Amino acid sequence: MIARLTGLVDVLDADRCVIDVGGVGYLVQASTRTLAALPAPPARALVLVETQVREDAITLFGFADTAEQMWFRLLTGVQGVGGRVALSILSTLSPRDLAGAIASGDRASLARANGVGARLALRLVTELRDKAGAMPTGPVLPAASAPAVGVAGDAMSALVNLGYRRPEAQAVLTRVIERLGDAAGLDQVIRDSLKELAR
């Protein structure tokens, strides 16, 4: 079973992505939230994975953090909620909003997700009300950006501390390091990255 993938983001689509790991492209279904957290191709990323094996297919579902992954597991334990419906729910509601909707019995919010009708929304509220309070509501162990090391890691840390968003900084850092080469110094990488980000 595949538990996570670390590689280059090759393709980003509306509901899936392709992660290139050593020349092999893995097709990963994901929520819009996870896809938005991934860096632009061809940046390096780490994606947490749930593998579903059926007679006719092996499907990979990817997550930017463990909170979303844990909610996916909980949702797919409810009868009538398959992987795609669970991703639709997670695309419509963040873990925090999902926990709130279930706790308050807000079936209308749940029914906004594709594939969730009134009957399934009621089942979700009924079956998950007691469990929702113990679930994480914010990012736990973010995974979408693979931990960088050396100059790249130090530069990323500096840019994030300056207030830049990680996906935006990652894309710029990748370009700068490719242009300057692996031997580039930290000061030069940060300086050139700031110039690009200022545009």
Show me where the domains of the chain are located.
Answer: 78-132, 150-198
Surface-to-core class of residue 155, CB atoms within 10 Å of its CB (0-12 exposed, 13-18 middle, 19+ buried): buried
Q: What is the pLDDT of residue 144?
A: 53
Q: Spell out the residues 6+ positions from residue 163 whose beta carbon is closer than 8 angstroms to its own.
A: none
Q: What is the pLDDT of residue 32?
A: 94
Q: What is the pLDDT of residue 163?
A: 81
Q: Is the pLDDT at 183 greater than 80, yes or no?
A: no
CA torsion sign, 110 to 14 to 81 to 98?
A: negative
Distance of alpha carbon 42 from alpha carbon 9, whole angstroms? 5
- Residue 143 pLDDT grade (very low, low, confident, very high; cuts 50, 70, 90): low
Q: What is the pLDDT of residue 26?
A: 97
62: part of which helix (H) or strand (E)? strand 58-63
The CATH superfamily assigned to 78-132 is: 5' to 3' exonuclease, C-terminal subdomain (1.10.150.20)
Q: Spell out the residues 6+ positions from residue 145 whose beta carbon is closer than 8 angstroms to its own.
A: 39, 43, 44, 45, 46, 156, 166, 167, 170
pLDDT, tens digit, 9 for 90 and up, residues 144-162: 555 445 677 778 778 877 8
User: Quick one: average pLDDT of 64-70?
Assistant: 90
Query: What pTM value is reported for the model?
Result: 0.71
**Do 15 and 27 meet the contact criterion of CB atoms below 8 Å apart?**
no
Q: What is the pLDDT of residue 147?
A: 46
The secondary structure of 142-174 as a DSSP string is --SSPPP-HHHHHHHHHHHHTT--HHHHHHHHH
Domain 150-198, architecture per CATH: Orthogonal Bundle (1.10)
Q: What is the pLDDT of residue 78?
A: 96
Q: Spell out the residues 6+ positions from residue 156 whose beta carbon is closer than 8 angstroms to its own.
A: 145, 148, 166, 169, 170, 173
Distance of alpha carbon 35 from alpha carbon 151, whole angstroms? 26
Q: Which of 146, 149, 145, 160 lies closest to 193, judged by CA?
A: 160
